[in-house]
Amino acid sequence: MPNHLPEYQLLVISISTPLLIGVYKNKELIETISSEKKTSEILLPLLNTYMERYDLSSIIYTRGPGSYMAIKLTYIMLKTIEIARGIKCFGCSAFALNNGAPIKAMGNLYFTKEKETIITKKIEQPVDAKFALPQSIQDLPLDEESTPEYIIPAV
């Protein structure tokens, strides 16, 4: 009888506050981490903690749209981990984790998705679109690219 070891993955949502990390065992959520701290302050210590605690097979992150600095920092950290530790890095659209709601760009500009195109749109009333970690990542659509998806809003 084959002995199947559990597969552990992290899902990182670092493009807004709070920063969210989900630990998944065989694609099912087993632990949630939330932090109000800046990505630059807390992400690497959290990643180190969970790499020590679990034998991770991959890390998924929201590659955009959202906070450019958070996307850059997250990508650099995850790509370094991929090269140094062999833990595969995957990207997914931020819209997959907030039910497709508008995502804050700057001021009253928001990123919106119309069909397969992401645009910036002026929205007068603030949109409070919360990001959430899914209970399962079985059907989470991963992007073919893991590189950041930068969309510069019109100013």
Is 60 part of any domain? yes
Residue 124 lies in a domain: no
Number of domains in the chain: 1
Percentage of the chain exceeding pLDDT 70? 95
Q: What is the pLDDT of residue 106?
A: 85
> Is 29 within the bounds of a domain?
yes
Q: What is the 3-state secondary structure (H, E, C) of 88-103?
A: EEEEECHHHHCCCCCE
Instruction: Please give the backbone phi and psi of residue 95, each rounded to the nearest 5 degrees, phi first.
Output: -65, -20
Residue 79 domain-assigned (yes or no): yes
Distance from C-alpha of 100 to C-alpha of 93, rounded to nearest angstrom: 10
* pTM, full prediction: 0.91
Least confident of 6-20, 66-80, 110-124: 110-124
Q: Under 8 Å CB-to-CB from 143, ≥6 apart: which residues?
A: 63, 90, 91, 92, 93, 149
pLDDT of 150 over the 80 cut:
no
User: Please, how many CA atoms are within 13 Å of residue 108, restricted to the half-sphere of its CB?
Assistant: 5
> Quick check: is 112 in a domain?
no
pLDDT-derived band of residue 46, with 50, 70 and 90 as boundaries? very high
Question: 3 falls in which pLDDT band (50, 70, 90)?
Answer: low
On the question of pLDDT at 100 being above 70, the answer is yes
What is the separation of C-alpha 54 from the centre of its chain, rounded to a whole number of angstroms? 19
Q: Encode pLDDT of 115-148 as tens digits.
A: 888 888 999 988 888 999 999 999 999 987 788 8
- For residue 92, being part of any structural domain is answered with yes
24 found inside a domain: yes
| Residue 71: CATH number of its domain | 3.30.420.40
Residue span of the structural domain in which 35 resides: 8-97+130-135
Establish if 59 belongs to a structural domain: yes
